[in-house]
Structure 1
Amino acid sequence: MRGPGGRRLAERTGERLSDALYGLGWGTVKKLPEPVAVRLGQTIADTVWKRRGTGVLQLERNLARVVPDAGPERLTALSRAGMRSYMRYWMESFRLPVWSEERISGGFAPKDVHHLMEALSAGRGVIIALPHLGNWDLAGAWVNTALRMPFTTVMERLKPESLYDRFVAYRVGLGMEVLPHTGGSAFGVLARRLRAGGMVCLVADRDLSASGTEVTFFGERTRMPPGPAILAQQTGAALLPVTLWFDRSPVMQGRVHPPIEVPDSGNRREKASVMTQALADVFAGGIAEHPEDWHMLQRLWLADLDPAKPPAEGARETT
């Protein structure tokens, strides 16, 4: 039986391996011709999918909520397509630092951008809230390149620290200001940026604090971060949900949804709850339309995070 020291050694070994593999990806994949990188990504995705590891199995459990009427064959096909989509995200991300401005600008075709431009024209700060759909790094690079709009984001601290530093350097290189999720005063910095008319982009379909706002998502209870809603209340910034998806072309698609309005009544917490639920509903609509592009390989719903807690009544109904 492995003791605490042995477990910690194994964790450190795994962390160093992860760091080395990501370093290899950024150092090697970006040098490959694009068709070669695409085929490599699909091969890796299919290999990982066939091994039926923890991430793939959890992805299928998550997709079973998104597509509740899907049989085993449909879920299997969706999870395979999901792993290919997920690896497309990584292959593109490894190559983004060497893409030209023209390639970045032409690599994303968002719809209804007028919602974003109207808020910016009014001098308001803008909060872009996204689920783990498509390639959010490419969307961010497009904002910086095509709109010439700098923005601030928040990133989960990764282990080892060297891997976290790699990701920060990568995103800074794409024109983002990156704040750590913990160990700092991220909320205050975000609020200042928004009050100055700036933009903040947050991936907001998974709570990292275990104390987020409970919402109903595909008929079951989960938690999502209330930060986007609270920032919108406190700064007057527009809260805009954005959904992304891939199609068969190399161009990623996306949609800027209408702003989530601050309710007229209720205290700050009650308003944040209503707004976070509204975000969850928009996210659910985008994920239901493109389930294979939702890269959620982690446990999300409370029934999975706390198996002793029964799912909400009507858990099989979709939103």
Structure 2
Amino acid sequence: MRERLADLGYQLGWSAVKRLPEPAAVALGRRAADSAWRRRGPRVRQLEANLARVRPDADEAELRALSRAGMRSYLRYWVESFRLPVWSAARIGGALRLEDQHHLTDAIDAGRGVVLALPHLANWDLAGSWLVTELRTPFTTVAERLKPERLFDRFIAYREGLGMEVVAHDGGVAFGKLARRLRAGGVVALVADRDLSASGVPVTFFGETATMPAGPALLAQQTGAALLPVSLWYDETPVMKGRVMAPLPVPEDGTRAERTAALTQALADRFADAIAAHPQDWHMLQRLWTADLDPRPAPRPADRAEERGA
């Protein structure tokens, strides 16, 4: 029943929200965000616990205000994502201002593969659609398998409809496909601030231990691709902002495991800088730090759906 309800909820979102007039859709998202924030359910409490690590000096009132802004940002993500399939190319092209994109275009022009790695900031689906529409740059990403299967199929169809190539998260099979795309000079985009496996790399993140996926670091090492951290954020305008950071150098010394650990830590440091600058746009409503993960129950179908291809 829970799986069916999750599937129905997302189906209604994709079918109904995109048909509403935009002011009505935005107002609906704002009301839903404020309602969820006032109920102070487990997701909101977890968001505040996460934000407390980002802003350790914030008092309770400041954290509450920050979590409210965070929920509004989170629902803005969903409203935009549900409406993206009906946005025109001109609308998508004008919806993101990306700073320092030369780090990306220089690597592409050189025929070098690129791994774009980003945290759960603002709207990564919009950024991906912008990449395809405005820069004419196709790319490949990974989607976590969801239950029921038809919900997973909806997410695949949604992202493919935006011009992305989507690979199911099937361990070594997915990694091999991504590596082939990179060796051919392609672009791979990965949301990489939360590990979904049992093989994540331990990192220090805002002063505490967390695990993050090894994939970006391993792909950069094995294919020679440029590893580019990316930051996204909202401000008071309808336009989302973003920045492509300089490529992270692959360490020359140490074993592969040591190089992977060092490169993943460098990526975590860039993520921390981006999140600290725009904490209200970090959509991390799940447990992340190791101290929060014991015991760790299996995620519910709706929880997995909210990973959104991370």
TM-score by length of 1: 0.91
Of stretches 176-185 and 157-166 in structure 1, the one that deviates more from structure 2 is 176-185
Give the Cα–Cα distance (whole angstroms) in 1 for the partners of residues 89 and 65 of structure 2.
35
Aligned with residue 60 of structure 1, among 43, 48, 51: 48
For 1:183 and 1:65, the matched residues in 2 are separated by 31
Instruction: Select the residue among 244, 253, 257 that pairs with 2:232.
Output: 244
Structure 1 CA distance for aligned equivalents of residues 137 and 98 of structure 2: 15
**Structure 2 counterpart of 1:189, one-letter code:** K
Shift of 1:183: 6.4
Inter-CA distance 156–246: structure 2 relative to 1 (3 Å threshold): same
After TM superposition, list the pairs within 5 Å mapping 1:117-196 onto structure 2: 117-182=105-170, 185-196=173-184
- TM-score scaled by structure 2? 0.94
Give runs of aligned pairs for residues 84-99 of structure 1, distance below 5 A: 84-99=72-87
How many residues matched? 296
1:37 and 1:113 map into 2 onto residues whose CA distance is 31
For 2:221 and 2:30, locate their aligned partners in 1 and report how far apart those are by CA, in whole Å. Answer: 43
Q: Is the 8 A contact 1:229 1:272 kept in 2?
A: yes
Give the superposition deviation at 1:184: 6.6
How far 1:159 moved relative to its partner?
1.5
Q: In structure 1, the residue corresponding to 2:258 is in which secondary structure?
A: helix
- Rounded to whole Å, the distance in 2 between the matches of 1:148 and 1:119 is 15
Aligned to 1:227: 215
The structural deviation recorded for 1:32 is 1.1
Partner of 1:312: none
Q: Does 1:254 align with 2:242?
A: yes
Separation (CA, whole Å) in 1 of partners of 2:111 and 2:230: 20
Distance 1:116 1:247 in 2: 23
CA distance in 2, matches of 1:264, 1:184: 25
Shift of the 191–184 alpha-carbon distance from structure 1 to 2, 3 Å rule, reads closer
Q: In structure 2, what is the equivalent of residue 79 of structure 1?
A: 67
1:268 shift after superposition: 1.1
Amino acid in structure 2 at the alignment position of 1:271: R
Q: Secondary structure at the match of 1:46?
A: helix
- CA distance in 2 between counterparts of 1:151 and 1:170 reads 15
SS in structure 1 opposite 2:116? strand
Cα RMSD (Å):
1.1
CA distance in 2: counterparts of 1:14 and 1:120, whole angstroms: 44
State whether residues 210 and 223 of structure 1, in contact with CA within 8 Å, keep that contact through their aligned partners in structure 2. no
CA displacement 1:27-53 (0-9 Å, x = unmatched): 011011111111110000001111111
Instruction: Please say if 1:279 is aligned against 2:267.
Output: yes
User: Are the equivalent residues in 2 in contact too, given 1:126–1:197 (CA < 8 A)?
Assistant: yes
For the residues of structure 1 that align with 2:9 and 2:295, how far apart are their CA atoms?
Answer: 33
Number of the residue aligned with 2:306: none
Secondary structure of 1:166's counterpart equals helix
Deviates more, 1:91-100 or 1:44-53: 44-53
Give the residue type in structure 1 aligned to 2:129: A
State the SS of the aligned residue for 1:185: helix
**Structure 1 runs (4+) greater than 6 angstroms displaced:** none
- Is the 1:132–1:203 contact (alpha carbons within 8 Å) kept by the matching residues of 2? yes
The amino acid that maps onto 1:65 is R
Alpha-carbon distance, 1:162 to partner:
1.0
Identity of aligned residues (%): 68
Q: What is aligned with 1:39?
A: 27
Q: Does 1:19 align with 2:14?
A: no
Counterpart Cα distance in 1 of 2:259 and 2:107? 21
What SS class does the counterpart of residue 141 from structure 1 fall into? helix
Say whether 1:291 aligns with 2:279: yes
Q: Hey, what's the Cα distance between the residues in 2 that align with 1:196 and 1:53?
A: 46
1:300 positional shift: 0.3
Alpha-carbon contact 1:212-1:223 (below 8 Å) kept: yes
- Which structure has the greater CA radius of gyration? 1
